[in-house]
Amino acid sequence: MLRRPLFLLLCSLLLTTACLRDEVYFAYRSADVEGWDTGEHIGFTVDSLAQGRTYHPTLHLRTTAAPVYPFQTIVLIVSQSWQFPHPSVSRRDSVLHTADTLTLRLMTSSGHPTTEGLALRQYTHPLPSLRLPRGARGKIDVRHIMRKEVVPGIANIGYSLR
């Protein structure tokens, strides 16, 4: 008789903690799966951060099974622009700009995907940590710089901040 309420309490605690995430921002944007053009920028906007601390951004990418992404790697530029609520004494500026060039390996040299999945395959790539103050607002821009201007098979680009 006492076991049932205890079991229900334990289950509710597990469900509550399973739903907690440490991301302060997580979003996906769709790319044209038939062909993501090099001129098409995928953008994200992070609203005012609740606290100042070191954040760990991550880029997420999903590819489709059809049409198949035709290359082993993809090269991306991730530009981040963070507006601070007031200039920092150490920075003497109220804006932080970063740009990272990423080469993500999506296939092995023998043509096998480097991750599992049926209709979609998901890849993640951590970006350099950022020390951001409370109230900072961010604009993130992702684009590919492949030689082929239109690349098929990219379904979604995501950005998370934890």
144 belongs to a structural domain: yes
12 belongs to a structural domain: no
**Residue predicted with more confidence, 15 or 3:** 3
φ and ψ at residue 78, rounded to 5 degrees: -110, 110
Find the CATH number of the domain harbouring 80.
Answer: 2.60.120
Range of the domain at 151: 23-161
**Which pLDDT tens digit goes with each residue over 87-109?**
666 666 789 999 999 999 998 88
Select from 112, 123, 110 the least CA-distant residue to 156.
123
Question: In angstroms, rounded to a whole number, what is the distance separating the alpha carbons of residues 45 and 159?
Answer: 10
92 belongs to a structural domain: yes
Residues 118-142: what's their mean pLDDT? 95
37 belongs to a structural domain: yes
Query: Domains in the chain: how many in total?
Result: 1
18 belongs to a structural domain: no
91 belongs to a structural domain: yes
Residues 68-90: what's their mean pLDDT? 89
CB 153 within 8 A of CB 67: yes
